[in-house]
Amino acid sequence: ILASEKKLKQVIVSELRDIQKEFGDGRRTQIVDAVEEIKVEDLIADTDMAITISHAGYIKRTPVDVYRHQSRGGKGRIGARTREEDFVEYLFVASAHSYILLFSSKGRVYWLEVYELPEAAAATRGRAITSLVKFQEDEHLTALVPARNLEETGRYVFFATRNGTVKKTELAEFSNPRPSGIIAINLEPKDELIGVKLTDGKQMIFLASHKGQAILFRETEVRAMGRQAGGVNGMDLGKDDYVVSMDAVQPDFEIVRKESKKDTQSLDELENEVIKDSLTSLMLSISEKGYGKRTPLAEYRITSRGGKGVINLKTTDRNGPVVAALQVSEDSDVMIITEFGKIIRVHSKEIREAGRSTQGVRLLRLEGEDKIAAAAAIPEEEANGADGAGGTPAGAPGGTKEPEKS
């Protein structure tokens, strides 16, 4: 056999065929004509991320598994290291493949995918949003909306402007991202976007004005419109008045009305009373001179959109006009910042609960010509776990200060 190359090859082939019969299996490798395009997100694990955005506009993402589970009463850990004049304003969890819609004061919307955000340690500040999104001249970030599926049906983006215009657009209208952004709402001259909420189309809409008025109406009163539409009147504002805050409130239940020939106006009024009495949220109104109060949402009469609304806070020379109105719970913390850069962190439950036609109590004693510039409700996750070991809550350089009684 060794002397004949031909016989040697025959023996090798024969033995290999015997091995194949005993140990062989089918081909596992697939041979294809071409390789499909590989997208960046295909190479990134779709893990949950904790997204934090500060009041000054710094953003970052951190894997949620960095935040270890703690028993009730634990110290927590620092969620974001901010400068003394800054604080965490947004905190939410989203998957790495989710989108964040960023809405500007000029009514444009920009996109970011969560995996595009800078990943940073829990205690770091992150990067400025302006380095990730190229806003146009004279526009700034007004609101952001996280969304897993931009083509999801039954989801809406609700807008409110300074001049009292409101608009509702299906989320799917924003499913084609463009780096330069697109128009989300057509604004009138000298108007600007002040609030955006993601809704299911069945929520209650609350608008608060600078001069102390507020209106509460059903979202169903606003029909869905396209991106290029300008919206409809949400609140009839008085002279020199403007909207400072918008919020969406989820009722505890939904009323399904069967066909009826009865007086529909009476039925509407009855339904409004039932819904109003079921609302358990509190609205915290804060005035320019540092006064504030919490009022049960059930005290606000539900009306049709476009009305003047009811008194939200009695404004006088003592407390000044309204700067912000926030939906809070007993467990909420609120950050208040002044034009001079002073910050106070207040526990919601420490602020007096009062009726609509009251002036509120002093939350912060201002110096000289200083005024309240802005306020934000701290997300409960941040409020409950933002303290570092032996440190001060993020964004509250002076710690928590109890509101003064007037």
> What whole-number distance in Å separates Cα of residue 183 and Cα of residue 362?
41
Identity of the residue numbered 331: D
Q: Phi, psi (5° rounding) for residue 173?
A: -65, -15
> What whole-number distance in Å separates Cα of residue 58 and Cα of residue 87?
10
Q: How confident is the model at residue 210 (pLDDT cuts 50, 70, 90)?
A: very high
> What whole-number distance in Å separates Cα of residue 324 and Cα of residue 287?
7
Q: How confident is the model at residue 333 (pLDDT cuts 50, 70, 90)?
A: confident
Which of the residue ranges 78-82, 96-100, 176-180, 226-230 would you say has the lowest mean pLDDT? 78-82
- Nearest CA-CA partner of 54 in 22, 83, 74: 83
For 264-286, how does the pLDDT look when each residue is reduced to its tens digit (9 = 90+)? 555 566 565 656 555 678 899 99
Identity of the residue numbered 388: G
Radius of gyration of the CA atoms of the chain, in A = 28
> What whole-number distance in Å separates Cα of residue 344 and Cα of residue 372?
11
Q: How confident is the model at residue 102 (pLDDT cuts 50, 70, 90)?
A: very high
The confidence score (pLDDT) of residue 6 equals 86
The confidence score (pLDDT) of residue 344 equals 84
Instruction: List 91's β-bridge partners, or say none.
Output: 52
Instruction: List 192's β-bridge partners, or say none.
Output: none
The confidence score (pLDDT) of residue 207 equals 97
Q: What is the average pLDDT across 151-171?
A: 95
Which of the residue ranges 39-48, 220-229, 279-288 would you say has the lowest mean pLDDT? 39-48
- E strand or H helix at 276: helix 264-278
Question: In 3-state terms, what secondary structure has residue 379?
Answer: coil
Is residue 34 predicted with pLDDT exceeding 80? no
What lies within 8 Å, CB to CB, of 158 at 6+ separation is 166, 167, 168, 196, 197, 198, 199, 203, 205, 219, 222, 246, 248
The confidence score (pLDDT) of residue 265 equals 53
Please state, for a pLDDT cut of 90, what percent of the chain lies above it: 36
Question: In 3-state terms, what secondary structure has residue 71?
Answer: coil
Instruction: List 93's β-bridge partners, or say none.
Output: 50
The confidence score (pLDDT) of residue 66 equals 66
Q: In this structure, how many other beta carbons lie within 10 angstroms of the beta carbon of residue 117?
A: 23
- The better pLDDT of the pair 51, 208 is held by 208
Q: Which of 45-54, 63-72, 230-239 has the highest mean pLDDT?
A: 230-239
Q: Phi, psi (5° rounding) for residue 206?
A: -120, 125
CB 69 within 8 A of CB 107: no
Please state, for a pLDDT cut of 70, what percent of the chain lies above it: 80
The confidence score (pLDDT) of residue 35 equals 60
Is residue 27 predicted with pLDDT exceeding 70? yes
Is residue 252 predicted with pLDDT exceeding 80? no
> What whole-number distance in Å separates Cα of residue 63 and Cα of residue 65?
5
Q: Phi, psi (5° rounding) for residue 300?
A: -95, 120
The confidence score (pLDDT) of residue 248 equals 93
> What whole-number distance in Å separates Cα of residue 276 and Cα of residue 270?
10
CB 203 within 8 A of CB 251: yes
For 105-140, how does the pLDDT look when each residue is reduced to its tens digit (9 = 90+)? 999 999 999 998 988 876 777 889 888 888 888 888
pTM: 0.75
Is residue 185 predicted with pLDDT exceeding 80? yes
Question: Mean pLDDT score of the chain, rounded to an integer?
Answer: 81
Is residue 254 predicted with pLDDT exceeding 70? no
**Domain residue limits, the chain:** 41-385
Question: In 3-state terms, what secondary structure has residue 7?
Answer: helix
Q: Phi, psi (5° rounding) for residue 125?
A: -85, -30
Right CATH number for 41-385 from 1.10.10.10, 2.120.10.90, 3.40.190.10, 1.10.260.40?
Answer: 2.120.10.90
The confidence score (pLDDT) of residue 290 equals 92
Q: What is the DSSP letter of 288?
A: T
Instruction: List 389's β-bridge partners, or say none.
Output: none
- The better pLDDT of the pair 157, 80 is held by 157
Q: What's the count of helices (H) and strands (E) in the chain, helices before strands?
A: 3, 23
- The better pLDDT of the pair 83, 351 is held by 351
The confidence score (pLDDT) of residue 78 equals 43
